[in-house]
Structure formats: C-alpha cells, structure tokens
Amino acid sequence: MGSISEILGTDRRVIVLALARMVGAVGNSFLIVVLPLYVASDLIDIGALIGSSVGVGAASVTLTEPLLIGIVLSLFGFLNSFSQPFTGRLSDRLGTRRPFVLAGILLLGTASALYTLADAYWILVVLRATQGFGAALTIPATVALVNEYAGSADQRGGNFGVFNTFRLIGFGFGPVLAGVVVDNGPYDLSAVGLPVINGFDAAFAAACLGAYLSFLLVYLLVHDAADAAEAGDDLSIRVRGEDRLLDPVFVLGIATVAMGLCIALYATLQNQVNLRLDQPPVWFGVQFAAVTIANVALQVPVGRASDRIGRRPFLVAGFLLLAPTTLLQGIVLSPLLMTIVRLGQGVAVAFVFAPSLALAGDLAREGESGTTLSVLTMGFGFGVALGPLASGWLVGFGFVVPFAVGGVLALVALALVMTQVEETLETADPAGGTAADD
C-alpha cells in the first residue's frame, strides 16, 4: 500500500478509502446490469403488475416492464440523493465518519446477498431502497474523510482526484464483469460442497463479497481524522450568499445536478442510438464507457492542477465544454464521432468533478465537511437518477431534444458558476509566498 501511496503522492488513508470505494463500486455497479435482467426474467413475478394503472385520472400511469425496471434503478438514486444532507449533517453533529461508512457498506452488501431470496417485485423495491439509504450513509462520510485528510488546501484537489479515479475504475468495470458472470452461469459448485447456482445468484454473491471486502479494508485501515473539529450549532444548508445572490456551495450543488443529468441522458437510449447510427451494440458499450475512460485518465492531473492554479478556471472550462459535447450527442451520425464526443464530455466532467469537491471542501467550515460536501454528492446522485427518466420522456419529442435540454442546463450551470462562485484557494507564488487567485 505504501508503494501505491508514494507513486501517487497521496496520503495512505486516502488510498485505502479509494480502494475500498473501488471494490464497493464494482459490487454495486454489478446491479446496474443484473437487476434489469433479473426483473425481466422468470425468477421475478411481475405479470400481475404489467398493464395495471397507478394514479388518478389523467395523472395515471400504466405499468410496463421498462417502467418497472426504471423504478427499481432510479429508486436507489433518489433515496440516496435526498438522504445525504441528513446523514452528512448527522455525521457532522456526532463528529465521526467511520461508523457511517461501515454501516452503509453493511447495508449495501447484505441487501445484495438478499436479492438471491427475492421472488417478488416488492422485495426488490425494498432491497433497492435499503441500498439507497446505505449509500447515503457511506458517501457523505467518505468524501468528508477525504477532505479532512488533506493537510492543506493545496492537497485537497489531488486527494479528490485520486479518490474519484479509483471509484470510477470500479464503477466502470463492474457492469462488464457482471455481464460475464451472468452470461457464464449456471455454476456447478458441487466440488466444494455447494449447490449449483445460476448467473444471477453468482452476480449477487459477487456484489455482496465486494461490499464485505470494502468493509474489511475500512474497518482495519481507516479511522476518523485525528484533528477533526466539532461541528458548530448551525448545520443548515445555505441558499442565499453573504455578498451575492446565492451561496457558492449551493450553486456548485445545482451545477452538479446539471452535470450528472447530462452524462446520464445517454444511458436509456441504447436502442435509439444504435438504430440512428446503424451500429452494433458493441459500439454503444464503447461510447458509454468513453466518459468514464476520460474521467479515469484526467481526475488526478486535473485535481492536482486545481491545487496549483485554482478551482474556478477548471469549473468554467468544464461547463463550457459540457454544453456542446452534450448537444452534439443528439446531432452526430457516425459511431466514431459519437465516441469522440463522449470522450469530450468525459473531459468536461473531469474538469468539474474533483475541483468542485475541492472548492466545497475549501469553503466548508470546521466540523462541517459532511454537510457541505453532501450538497454536491446529493446533486450528482440526483442528476444521475433524473437523467435516464428525463431522456426517456424527452426523446418522444425528437432524438435531439434531451441532449438540447442538457446543453441548455450546462450553460445555465456555467452562468451560475461565473457569476456566483469566486476562487478561494491560496496558491503558492514563485517567490515562495502565497497569492489568492481571483
């Protein structure tokens, strides 16, 4: 572990948290691929639900298989997002992070194991909701620890860059591994005294194992920051700014919603994209992964560069690039061009992700990292959950419409950042002193 820490030039505790998050992300991202297949299989009885209506009058919605799948997938994101400010605030109030991380990982892993016993749709809903709350316990406390492990502001961007890189590697490769595990089932384990298990149960077991391994890493190697300050009396999320219209952390949260929504618009349009571009499914997989690949490549250098020259230039450049790369996904007609555009969108996200978390950490008052950073993690989770639903509805008005709406939201985020967010980081000047970036 020390060698990895030395190579990356990052606190060992951040490396351990990043590795634990990567392992957990592999297991949790398994479910993005497995759950839709599981709901559509004969193992879950949804026949009585399909065709029934929910709601009253004009507001009623007819349940279909894709909608039932969408509900299960989106429930995690919505519950996770809306719970994070409360769990982040509670961890600030109690002045501890580690128990929240451990409890959340246990919920994620145990629920993954219990999927093997589910035979009804409502059980999937309950388990997915449990996992959403587990993620809400884990995420704000984890990013608060990454923030508090930074010895100074000029280490914060690098810390978040390393953390995000490992997390994205886990999240990016998890679905690929899940597909392999499901496709190669069933598995005959009689040689070790176990029964034959199908591909779904093997995937759920792998997700559970990943979570429990993550739990073990955190339990043995991660502790609360020794110099963590106690939270103040006021832990509210501020909306109005002191010297401007909006609070900068609130603006970063709104901008992060837009970013999450823009990158998630593509997820539900596989059939439409493949038909429009006349491409085989493998191209869609490459295009979908392109955003993650660009993020993995750039998180660390961008994070560290933001420590040297400031956060705001990267935020402005990121949202300036996010708008056209989102819009172009609704316009290009070549698989190769779509891949290039998606890579460009990944660059934009990398320019925003680590610097925005670092800037929120710069602005967080002592003992309030959980509350402050949860505004951004909640925003990203909400955007990612809302994106697929928005694109699924807006594409009915034309293929370009969801991407045009995403591009407009990116421009709104750019305007908010340019007018409501100032640079706060003090960077080293050539003479050896410090100078604040304007």
Q: What is the SS3 assignment for 294?
A: helix
Say if 77 falls within a structural domain. yes
Confidence tier at 42 by pLDDT (50, 70, 90): confident
Please state the φ and ψ torsions of residue 61, each to the nearest 5 degrees: -130, 135
Burial class (CB in 10 A: 0-12, 13-18, 19+), 398: exposed
Q: Are residues 45 and 162 in the same domain?
A: yes
What pLDDT shows up at residue 230? 53
Q: Are residues 186 and 204 in the same domain?
A: yes
What pLDDT shows up at residue 214? 87
Strand-pair category, 53-54 with 61-62: antiparallel
Q: What is the SS3 assignment for 298?
A: helix
Q: Are residues 151 and 246 in the same domain?
A: no
Mean pLDDT of 77-100: 87
Confidence tier at 382 by pLDDT (50, 70, 90): confident
Mean pLDDT of 62-85: 80
Mean pLDDT of 302-311: 89
- Indicate the number of domains in the chain: 2
CATH code for position 301: 1.20.1250.20
Q: Are residues 119 and 27 in the same domain?
A: yes
Whether the CB-CB separation of 169 and 163 falls below 8 Å is answered with no
Per residue in 251-296, pLDDT (tens digit) is 999 999 999 999 888 877 877 888 999 988 778 878 888 888 898 8
Q: Which of 203, 228, 253 is the last residue of a domain?
A: 228
Q: Has residue 5 got a pLDDT over 60?
A: no
Q: Are residues 110 and 186 in the same domain?
A: yes
What pLDDT shows up at residue 336? 95
Give the lowest-confidence range in 52-66, 152-166, 241-255: 52-66
Q: Are residues 196 and 150 in the same domain?
A: yes
Cα of 341 vs its chain's centroid, Å? 21
Residue in 30, 257, 222 with CA at minimum distance from that of residue 138: 222
Q: Are residues 209 and 282 in the same domain?
A: no
Say if 3 falls within a structural domain. yes
Write out the residue range of the structural domain in which residue 295 sits.
237-426
Say if 357 falls within a structural domain. yes
How does DSSP classify residue 231?
A: P
Q: Which of 210, 228, 246 is the last residue of a domain?
A: 228
Mean pLDDT of 76-82: 83
- How many angstroms separate the CA atoms of 165 and 346, rounded? 13
Q: Are residues 116 and 222 in the same domain?
A: yes
Q: Which of 123 and 393 is assigned the larger pLDDT?
A: 123
Whether the CB-CB separation of 76 and 126 falls below 8 Å is answered with no
Residue in 416, 437, 438 with CA at minimum distance from that of residue 427: 437
Provide CB contacts within 8 A for 15, sequence distance 6+.
Answer: 1, 4, 5, 8, 162
Helices marked H in 328-430 — which ranges? 335-363, 369-394, 401-420
DSSP line for 120-183:
BHHHHHHHHHHHHHHHHHHHHHHHHHHHHT-SSHHHHHHHHHHHHHHHHHHHHHHHHHHHHHHH
Please state the φ and ψ torsions of residue 80, each to the nearest 5 degrees: -60, -50
Q: Has residue 235 got a pLDDT over 70?
A: no
Mean pLDDT of 168-192: 78
Q: Are residues 387 and 251 in the same domain?
A: yes
Mean pLDDT of 143-170: 81
Q: Are residues 356 and 280 in the same domain?
A: yes
Q: Has residue 242 got a pLDDT over 80?
A: no
Q: Which of 366 and 136 is assigned the larger pLDDT?
A: 136
- How many angstroms separate the CA atoms of 304 and 162, rounded? 9
- How many angstroms separate the CA atoms of 398 and 28, rounded? 33
> By percentage, how much of the chain surpasses pLDDT 70?
88
Mean pLDDT of 205-216: 88
Q: Has residue 148 got a pLDDT over 70?
A: yes
Residue in 246, 198, 222 with CA at minimum distance from that of residue 16: 222
Q: Has residue 138 got a pLDDT over 50?
A: yes
What pLDDT shows up at residue 257? 94
Q: Are residues 288 and 208 in the same domain?
A: no
Mean pLDDT of 391-415: 92
Provide CB contacts within 8 A for 237, sequence distance 6+.
Answer: 85, 249, 250, 371, 375
Q: Which of 228, 255, 290 is the last residue of a domain?
A: 228
Q: Are residues 361 and 219 in the same domain?
A: no
What pLDDT shows up at residue 92? 85
- Between the CA of residue 196 and those of 26, 166, 200, what are the distances in Å? 24, 33, 12
Quote the mean pLDDT of the chain: 82
Say if 413 falls within a structural domain. yes
Say if 433 falls within a structural domain. no
Angle between helices 401-420 and 369-394 (to 10 degrees): 150
Residue in 263, 272, 382 with CA at minimum distance from that of residue 325: 263
What predicted TM-score, i.e. pTM, was given to this entire model? Answer: 0.77
What pLDDT shows up at residue 104? 92
Measured between alpha carbons, how far apart are the two ends of the chain, in Å? 38
